[in-house]
Amino acid sequence: MESLSNRIVSLSPSATVAMNQKSRDLQAKGVDVINLSVGEPDFFTPDHIKEAAKKAIDDNFSFYPPVSGFPDLKKAIVEKFKRENNLEYKPEQIVVSCGAKHSLANVLMVLIDKGDEVIIPAPYWVSYIELVKLCEGTPVVVHSGFESNFKMTPEQLEKAITPKTKALLICSPSNPTGAVYSRNELQALAEILARHETILVISDEIYEHINYIGGHESIAQFGNIKERCVVINGVSKSYAMTGWRIGYFGAPVWIAKACEKLQGQTTTGATTIAQKASVAALTGDQECVADMNKAFKRRKDLIVRLINDIPGLRVYEPDGAFYVFPQISAYFGKSFNGNRIDSSNDLCIYLLEHAHIAMVPGEAFGDPGCARISFATSDEKLVEAMKRMKDALGRLR
């Protein structure tokens, strides 16, 4: 007899992971699917990083690592925060985990009690809501649409705060919209937060290096809230290392210690070989990061142009990350062979089945009028995918 916990029964599966799997299953059956669903760089991990991993194997890094991460990796992370973000941390404020998703899960797990409210600006990344719910917290979603460039205003933040607010969970550059908060915009949010001394700020900066408007700004830079910020980052996106599963954060010592305790009972830390590879990523030549960013920028320009050429779609030009989140609701109410399309979900299924392109429906990100396209793939595939999309949408009546 199946008797799963309520905790897992009430957890929704990740829509990004599910769509990626659906696309892989179709590909395995020989269908020529262009997968624009999952967000991962299509580049190979740079050679110097792979060499460091091979060396770690030869050097017998085959024993359990320190639970919160190897000292040389923590040192590299401290230096990265100083060099790139002008944030000062001590090694005891850093915890290395099995991907930024795991860092986020750990942080929420040690902070959120039943009924604690976590403010989440929408459109949000799929996993935020479910992770908060897994911790029995209450997500408080603040909607910001196209008109406000998909960014939460200080007024919206102020209005969402209640005596139960435990944390704000913010993502810039944003998955799924590509919106990037400017220094001034972050400062305005920080000023509100400074007046509410018990609210913690969890800042997901995993797309830091995929930025088309210049430098990255972290909300943790503001002295009035720095002591309450957790900055989450990782090597997945910046160094094309999604499969290596290394994420990390910088936080107040009490949060880092709690996460170390949690990891001590759950994972015993992240894979040794991947940690050594991450040292090479963070301390080595950063040209690979700039090269990949250049390619993403070219693809961003391309896909925005291609989408603008499709009647009825409206697209916000992303300032960072590698997603576009076009509004597709003009097609709701139309039909194909008598099947009505009433939602982003319906439209994505139609496009998967009839155009063989995989995208993620907007429902998963808290904006059902849009759909997410990852453009972390080749220019040729983007051109072909948008051609298929234009044709398929044109067949709807």
The residues of the shown chain that bind ligand GLU, judged by CB under 6 A, are 14, 16-17, 38-40, 101, 126-127, 175
- Cα separation, 110 vs 258, whole angstroms: 6
Cross-strand bridge partners of residue 6: none
Minimum CB separation from ligand PMP for residue 148, in Å? 19
Question: By CB under 6 A, is residue 204 in contact with ligand PMP?
Answer: yes
CB 251 within 8 A of CB 231: yes
What x-and-dash track marks residues 152-181 binding ligand PMP by CB under 6 A?
A: -------------------x---x------
Of the pair 128, 331, the CB lying nearest ligand PMP is at 128
Minimum CB separation from ligand GLU for residue 166, in Å? 24
Residue 86: left if φ>0, alpha if ψ -120 to 50, beta else—which one? left
Of the pair 68, 174, the CB lying nearest ligand GLU is at 174
Site for ligand PMP in 233-292 (CB under 6 A): 234, 236, 242, 247
DSSP string, 247-260: EEEE--HHHHHHHH
Q: 170: which 2 tokens?
A: 């913010």
Minimum CB separation from ligand PMP for residue 258, in Å? 20
The one-letter code for the residue type at 393 is: L
Q: Which of 20, 39, 117, 238 binds ligand PMP (CB under 6 A)?
A: 39
Question: By CB under 6 A, is residue 125 in contact with ligand PMP?
Answer: yes
State the binding partner of 65 from ligand PMP, ligand GLU, none, CB within 5 to 8 A by kind.
none
Stretch that binds ligand PMP, among 98-106, 112-120, 150-158, 160-168 (CB under 6 A): 98-106
Instruction: Calculate the alpha carbon distances from 206 to 161, 216, 241, 248, 299 in Å.
Output: 25, 11, 12, 10, 19
- Pairing assessment for the beta strands 339-340 and 335-336 based on DSSP bridges: antiparallel
Q: Give the contacts of 380 (CB within 8 A, at least 6 positions apart).
A: none
The H or E element containing residue 292 is helix 287-308
First-to-last alpha carbon distance for the chain, in angstroms, is 48
Of the pair 101, 209, the CB lying nearest ligand GLU is at 101
Q: What residue ranges bind ligand PMP (CB under 6 A)?
A: 39, 99-101, 125, 171, 175, 204, 206, 234, 236, 242, 247
